[in-house]
């Protein structure tokens, strides 16, 4: 099996000198959940982080990066971003704003550098997995390296 093609997110990590592993998996278009991805790459769901695009009441977009087995608390995200409220961006906005499709969204090398907030539980793990910027491909790396590459702020983001 040939190694997966490098994505822009992987190239960004290369440019920062960050060590990572690319792990490919079989995509089921009907089940793009992080729990399903975790099962396919052999990691517990709490180590597979999903990246969600949200929008504040002021129209600012931001990324929320949370464990795959949790739900985003929009009030906590708004609080972290010093906004009155936040809501998830509509699916039709995701690709034009980030350059990525649902199931393949990552903070790294997104079309626009929106502020990113990562759930504080990210630091509990030695290794985490995030989308490499396309469906069927995950990046495995240390939380500290991810936070640096994504320029993410730690916050309590889950329910």
The answer to whether residue 2 sits within a structural domain is no
pTM confidence score: 0.95
The answer to whether residue 101 sits within a structural domain is yes
Lowest mean per-residue pLDDT among 1-15, 70-84, 129-143? 1-15
Q: Beta 116-119 vs 61-67: how paired, if at all?
A: parallel
- How far the first Cα of the chain sits from its last, in Å, is 40
Q: How many CA atoms lie within 13 A of 42 on its CB side?
A: 2
E strands, 1-126, in order? 21-24, 49-56, 61-67, 86-88, 116-119
The number of folded domains in the chain is 1
Which tens digits make up the pLDDT trace of 58-68?
999 999 999 99
Range of the domain at 92: 8-155
CATH number at residue 82: 3.90.960.10
Which tens digits make up the pLDDT trace of 101-143?
989 999 999 999 999 999 999 999 999 999 999 999 999 999 9
Rounded (10°) angle between helices 8-15 and 143-150? 100
The answer to whether residue 3 sits within a structural domain is no
The answer to whether residue 66 sits within a structural domain is yes
Rounded mean pLDDT, 142-156: 98
The answer to whether residue 1 sits within a structural domain is no
Band (5; pLDDT cuts 50, 70, 90): confident
Instruction: Identify the three-state secondary structure at position 22.
Output: strand
CB 43 within 8 A of CB 77: no
42 versus 29: the higher-pLDDT residue is: 42
Q: Is the pLDDT of residue 2 over 60?
A: no
The answer to whether residue 32 sits within a structural domain is yes
Mean residue pLDDT of the chain comes to: 95
């Amino acid at each position: 099996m040939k190694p997966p093609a490098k994505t822009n997110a992987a190239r960004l990590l290369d440019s920062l000198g960050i060590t990572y592993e690319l792990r490919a998996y079989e995509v089921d278009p009907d089940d793009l959940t992080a729990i399903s991805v975790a099962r396919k790459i052999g990691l517990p769901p709490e180590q597979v982080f999903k990246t969600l695009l949200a929008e504040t009441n002021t129209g600012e977009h931001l990324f929320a990066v949370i464990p795959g087995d949790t739900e985003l608390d929009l009030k906590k995200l708004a609080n972290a971003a010093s906004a009155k409220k936040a809501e998830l961006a509509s699916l039709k906005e995701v690709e034009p704003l980030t350059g990525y499709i649902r199931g393949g969204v990552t903070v790294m090398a997104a079309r626009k550098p929106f502020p990113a907030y990562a759930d504080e539980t990210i630091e509990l793990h030695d290794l985490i997995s995030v989308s490499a910027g396309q469906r069927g491909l995950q990046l495995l790396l240390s939380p500290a390296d991810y936070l640096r590459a994504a320029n993410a702020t730690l916050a309590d983001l889950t329910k």
